[in-house]
Amino acid sequence: MTDATEADLTGGTPRPRPEGEVEKIGDRKLKPATMMMGHGYDPMLSEGALKPPIFLTSTFVFPNAAAGKRHFEGVTGKRPGGAEGLVYSRFNGPNQEILEDRLAVWEEAEDALAFSSGMSAIATLFLSMVKPGDTIVHSGPLYAATETLISRILGRFGVQWLDFPAGATREEIDTVLSKAASGNVALIYLESPANPTNALVDVEAVAASRDAIFTGDNKPPIAIDNTFLGPLWAQPLRQGADIVVYSLTKYAGGHSDLVAGGVLGTKAHINTIRLMRNTIGTICDPNTAWMLLRSLETLELRMSRAGENAAKVCEFLASHPKVEKVGYLGFLERGEDKRQADIYRRHCTGAGSTFSLYLKGGEKEAFAFLDALKIAKLAVSLGGTETLASHPAGMTHLSVAEERKQALGITDNLVRISIGVEDADDLIADFENALKAV
């Protein structure tokens, strides 16, 4: 939360942390779960309120004209780093700034931004990085709306794209990046695990390939959608990514009652993205930011419980005679795909709670299963407190061309399941009953 003196506002010194901010106890660095309770907020600036108020205002009063000018120098990009104080709610606000401080904590990112949705975060990222004639290299599959944005919308403005499969080897990645390097590669965009197949991307291999093929000023940043596993089970900044993207609607929000997005990364990249956000107004509103602050306090608890539940449910499903296979990351060590197992060991600290269930049959069997569920809700999205199930080929990825869906393994017998925090045995009973309808 912005807390600067008049001298700070006019002199350009970095905004101080709130008074009494605690990040270490002696030599012990506090864990993110602890810091979610108060990081970035000083109760004494808000009448002693333990929790931040919701700041429902469109604009903020400047202490003097010089401060107002300096703020707008940051907002308009004449000076990097954004405003050093509160200006206007399209640019910043107390709730959003506290949220951004806490989002950055989880992955030890230099800076973070909050957005009105996951797709507004992705769209703002792309618009800030690419121009006509540029190329985006990406892993596949991606969330369907992201693929649509790249190929159908940015493509109309002369932006090109090349892709490689999520599980690509270093050699396969080299081949695609070398081909793309004949033009200007503005961004390498990844999604891991891939939606909805759960295939992992080798971020370290992508970073090594990028660094070998591109040098100097033409080195494109690596951005990655970390929604499925982050921030508890994966932290791709550690593997060489420069920018991390989130649909905060999912695990960060965690209660299926808000829509928001986030971008984390280096200050240089965040400054570029912030300037675009300031221009097109894709920041999240103060009420949503406040709700996310509430949710971040229980993020570790919710994700841990959901992950434990998923492990139990997947063990049951894997042995059921009507199930073809279960695309659950926790099973990689048992399978034949040594490549995916190796990526999992190097990149992940947990298997998550969202997985792919392949039933024996096709759309008819998948729909019968979905329609028979009682506890699990038939709805898109993931990462909420409740268990959700959907049919990607007929719902979230319906707009993807049929041949591409087949190439990416998005088949008619695929059901995507996101496990919540209910009792695991109750969920198993629900799935067992629904399988009887298949």
Q: What pLDDT score does 2 carry?
A: 45
User: What is the mean pLDDT of the segment spanning 372-395?
Assistant: 96
Is residue 10 pLDDT above 70, yes or no?
Answer: no
pLDDT tens per residue, range 57-91: 999 999 999 999 999 998 988 887 778 899 999 99
Does 202 lie in the same domain as 236? yes
Q: Count CB neighbours of 29 within 10 A.
A: 11
Report pLDDT for 338: 94
pLDDT of residue 16: 52
Domain interval for residue 407: 299-435
Q: Are residues 160 and 233 in the same domain?
A: yes
Question: What is the number of domains present in the chain?
Answer: 2
Instruction: Assign 402 a pLDDT band (cuts: 50, 70, 90).
Output: confident
For position 158, which CATH number holds? 3.40.640.10
Q: Mean pLDDT score of the chain, rounded to an integer? A: 93
Picking from 21-30, 298-307, 338-347, which range would have the lowest pLDDT averaged per residue?
21-30
Has residue 32 been placed in a domain? no
pLDDT of residue 374: 98
Query: Strands across the sheet with 243-247, in order?
Result: 111-115, 261-265, 243-247, 222-225, 185-191, 135-140, 160-165
Give the single-character DSSP code of 359. E
pLDDT above 60: residue 3: no
Describe the crossing of helices 424-435 and 299-318 by its angle, rounded to 10 degrees: 40
Residue 5's pLDDT band (boundaries 50, 70, 90)? Answer: very low
Q: How many CB atoms lie within 10 A of CB 291?
A: 22
**Residues 148-154, mean pLDDT to the nearest whole number:** 95
Query: Higher confidence at residue 63 or residue 408?
Result: 63
The whole-angstrom separation of Cα 57 and Cα 191 is 36
Same domain, 267 and 306: no
Shared domain for 340 and 260, answered yes or no, is: no
What CA–CA distance (Å, rounded) separates 77 from 226?
A: 28
Could you tell me the pTM of the whole model?
A: 0.92
pLDDT digits (tens, 9 = 90+) for 189-225: 999 999 888 899 999 999 999 999 998 788 999 999 9
Give the helix/strand (H/E) hosting 164: strand 160-165
CATH for 329: 3.90.1150.10
Domain boundary among 296, 311, 332: 296
What is d(CA 156, CA 152) in angstroms, rounded to the nearest whole number? 6
Nearest of 331, 352, 350 to residue 341 by alpha carbon:
331
Domain boundary among 296, 323, 350: 296
